[in-house]
């Protein structure tokens, strides 16, 4: 056999078996607009987990789907249509029965810490807030179908829903509701991007609302969906062990948490009726505490 054939055979044998496997495709929901950066961190966590597992599972692709409502995302995964193969969403008992979640809160539960976008001229009305009853005087804007709607309503809050993410900011400045409740991880980008053309926007500086709201990666309850999920879960735990999970979290959220002065805000806690027994509340490694005692 010629020398070049021996060389070719040797190179073939050196290629890891995993790279001969089919490319695993993770198709995720596209941003709703050019200003929608809500999930940049989450997809970075997904990408890093997939990178960590390339040696075992081989190559992967991350592909944007068409823009879908949360309801349609759930429907596509339930049908295992292939139009969406991974979803980032909160939990509820029905989804836990029908889909495959990874029970690791992707953002360490940060989305459950809420600050208020309000109209600047309304700030005086919030200065006397000391109790949950005081907070219930206001109306709260949220997206149609968001889990927060049921959480807030079950705790006695009045909620106004909108069908468009960008439209909710317009509803706020046009006095359709008093508060647009936003996650600590979202609000600064949203404010900075819209302030030039929405000068009345204001971040309320003293109140911090909290309810446990685990947001997971979800997959179809099928053989293929479970394989996709197993790879991501393995990669996420690898990131936990080597410290890269915390590094990505701090990269995206560390400065934002400091800028919002959260430790000095008045903290108000709500219950979440959507939690299931599988919620890993006892594993404090998976959650962030923004007001540690």
Rounded average pLDDT over 41-66: 96
Looking at the structure, tell me whether residues 202 and 117 fall in a common domain: yes
For residue 285, being part of any structural domain is answered with: no
Confidence band for 293, pLDDT divided at 50, 70 and 90: low
For residue 156, being part of any structural domain is answered with: yes
Looking at the structure, tell me whether residues 51 and 91 fall in a common domain: yes
* Cα dihedral 261, 264, 268, 269 in deg (nearest 10): 70
Looking at the structure, tell me whether residues 181 and 127 fall in a common domain: yes
- Residue 254 is part of which domain span? 22-108+214-262
- Structure tokens given for 69: 């409502």
Looking at the structure, tell me whether residues 123 and 190 fall in a common domain: yes
- Residues 213-267: pLDDT tens digits? 999 999 999 999 999 999 999 999 999 999 999 999 999 999 999 999 988 899 9
Looking at the structure, tell me whether residues 72 and 97 fall in a common domain: yes
Query: Which pLDDT value is given to residue 2?
Result: 54
Helix residue ranges, H only, 58-145: 70-79, 93-98, 132-135
Looking at the structure, tell me whether residues 243 and 201 fall in a common domain: no
Looking at the structure, tell me whether residues 204 and 225 fall in a common domain: no
pTM listed for this prediction: 0.84
Q: Name the maximum alpha-carbon separation found in the chain.
A: 87
For residue 65, being part of any structural domain is answered with: yes
CATH of the domain at 137: 3.40.190.10
Q: Where are the beta strands (DSSP E) in 108-241?
A: 113-119, 139-143, 158-162, 179-183, 201-203, 207-210, 215-219
Residue 77 has pLDDT above 90, yes or no: yes
**How far is Cα 270 from Cα 209, in angstroms, rounded to an integer?**
8
Q: Tokens 């979290």, residue? A: 249
| Tally of domains in the chain | 2
Query: Which pLDDT value is given to residue 11?
Result: 44
% helix, strand, coil for the chain, step of 5: 45, 20, 35
Weakest mean pLDDT among 29-38, 154-163, 185-194, 253-262 = 29-38
Residue 111 has pLDDT above 70, yes or no: yes
Calculate the average pLDDT of the chain.
91
Looking at the structure, tell me whether residues 29 and 66 fall in a common domain: yes
């Amino acid at each position: 056999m010629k020398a070049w054939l021996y060389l070719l055979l040797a190179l073939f044998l050196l290629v890891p078996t995993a790279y001969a496997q089919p490319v695993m495709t993770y198709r995720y929901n596209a941003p709703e607009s050019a200003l929608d950066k809500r999930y940049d961190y989450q997809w970075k966590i997904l990408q890093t987990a997939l990178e960590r597992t390339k040696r075992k599972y081989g190559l992967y692709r991350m592909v944007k789907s068409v823009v879908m409502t949360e309801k349609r995302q759930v429907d596509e995964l339930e049908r295992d249509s292939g139009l969406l193969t991974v979803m980032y969403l909160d939990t509820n008992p029905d989804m836990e029965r029908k889909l495959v979640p990874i029970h690791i809160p992707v953002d360490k539960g940060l989305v459950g810490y809420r600050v208020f976008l309000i109209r600047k001229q309304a700030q005086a009305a919030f200065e006397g807030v000391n109790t949950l009853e005081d907070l219930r005087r206001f109306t709260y804007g949220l997206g149609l179908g968001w889990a927060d709607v049921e959480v807030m309503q079950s705790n006695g809050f009045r909620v106004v829903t909108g069908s468009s993410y960008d439209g909710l900011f317009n509803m706020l400045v046009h006095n359709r509701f008093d508060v647009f409740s936003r996650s600590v991880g979202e609000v600064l980008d949203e404010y900075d991007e819209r302030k030039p053309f929405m000068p009345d926007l204001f971040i309320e500086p003293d109140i911090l609302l909290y309810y446990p709201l685990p947001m997971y990666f979800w997959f179809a309850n099928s053989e293929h969906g479970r394989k996709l999920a197993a790879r991501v879960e393995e990669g996420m735990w690898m990131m936990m062990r080597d410290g890269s999970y915390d590094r990505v979290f701090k990269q995206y959220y560390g400065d934002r948490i400091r800028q919002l002065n959260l430790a000095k805000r008045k903290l108000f806690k709500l219950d979440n009726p959507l939690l299931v027994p599988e919620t890993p509340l006892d594993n404090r490694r998976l959650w962030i505490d923004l007001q540690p005692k």
